[in-house]
A = this chain, B = another copy of it.
Amino acid sequence: MTDPTAPGPLAATAALMADPARARMLAAMMGGEALTAGELARIAGVVPATASGHLARLAEGGLIVVHAQGRHRYHRLASEEVAAVIETLGGLAARIAPLRPWKHGDAARQSRLCWNHLAGRLGVALHQRLTGEGWLTPVSGGWTASAEGRTRLAATGVDLDQAMKAARFACDCMDWSERRPHLAGGLGKEIASAWLTRGWLRRLPGAGDADVLARRRIAVTPDGARGLREGLGLDAA
């Protein structure tokens, strides 16, 4: 039998997220960008030395991966699965917290990124539109696109073939603010990155209000609003 006093994997992994500074770092990385240790230190509100220790633990725990480049070290979440856990846990926390220094009434429902795909109002609306019209239908372990869905998405700059190739089993990620699924997986990533590079979406500076929203806010540009309306019949209010 194993040591009964051992933490166990669940507690060990939870402990990695249980520190305020580390939680802020993880929340910041939910924007999908790779951030340097210095940036993360500032975000977390600790001195670089402390941040370095935290990042080492997160990396050793497998929650983040580090990419050294020159004298910078870039940190990002290790996988979509890690992002999903943080998203889910953050949603539960936000709904549970009776102590409410964090108004999750309105700001939290805004459109945002969840690791590398769209979440919030926009993410959910997109998911409903695509599945509601039958352009996309879930099958066990992935998606199939109708011919119309394929051309519609292509018109918005989404390379469906490449997305499908990478679309290892596209869970629809549960959106905690809207309580409906949004589009994750390879397809979600492809859509978000296509629209970001096309200038239909842009990142908002997003202040420093930590935790669930740090560095994750996005907005639809006028171009994007027009494109989504014409291409998908989606009203991005």
Contact = CB atoms under 8 A, between A and B. Distances in A.
A89 B19 contact: no
Given A2-B102, A9-B90, A131-B140, 6 more contacts: A5-B20, A5-B45, A10-B27, A61-B96, A62-B96, A85-B89
A106 interface: no
- Number of copies of this chain that the complex holds: 2
A70 interface: no
A42 to B, nearest CB: 11
A157 interface: no
A94 interface: yes
B101 A6 contact: yes
How many A residues are at the interface, by size bracket? 35 or more
A166 interface: no
A150 interface: no
A147 interface: no
A138 interface: yes
A82 interface: yes
Interface stretch (A173-181, A197-205, A221-229): A173-181
